[in-house]
Amino acid sequence: EAQVTQNPRYLITVTGKKLTVTCSQNMNHEYMSWYRQDPGLGLRQIYYSMNVEVTDKGDVPEGYKVSRKEKRNFPLILESPSPNQTSLYFCASSRDAYEQYFGPGTRLTVT
């Protein structure tokens, strides 16, 4: 089954404790993105990748890092999480500009 998986689905952590949210897709897609969704602000892109070893900033990259060492994986790293990074995070992948596949989401709470 074609899918994008994210782990963990839920995470509660404390300020400053480094964390990684994993994202994996099994469709051999070139494009992958990370978004965050906050009430009243819609979906905002954090980082994207157009292929292995090619990443770039989206609209809200501050406080986040990503890497793309393999085509299928695109982890999101928060080196020193802060409460304003409490959000619902989605990973997405696509082969082209038409149809993007989204993961199930990771709900992160930073206290």
Chain residues in the site for other proteins (CB under 8 A): 4, 31, 33, 35, 42-43, 45, 48, 50, 56, 58-59, 88, 90, 92, 94, 97-105, 107
The CA-based angle 34-39-40, given to 5 degrees, is 105
Q: Which is nearer to other proteins, 18 or 57 (CB)?
A: 57
Q: Which is nearer to other proteins, 64 or 90 (CB)?
A: 90
Q: At its nearest, how many Å lie between other proteins and the CB of residue 41? A: 10
Cα dist. 12→4, 39, 46, 108 in Å? Answer: 22, 19, 20, 6
Q: Which is nearer to other proteins, 16 or 43 (CB)?
A: 43
DSSP run (H or E) holding 101: strand 101-102
Q: Which is nearer to other proteins, 20 or 30 (CB)?
A: 30
Give residues with Cβ within 8 angstroms of 51, minimum separation 6.
Answer: 30, 68, 71
Q: At its nearest, how many Å lie between other proteins and the CB of residue 94? A: 6
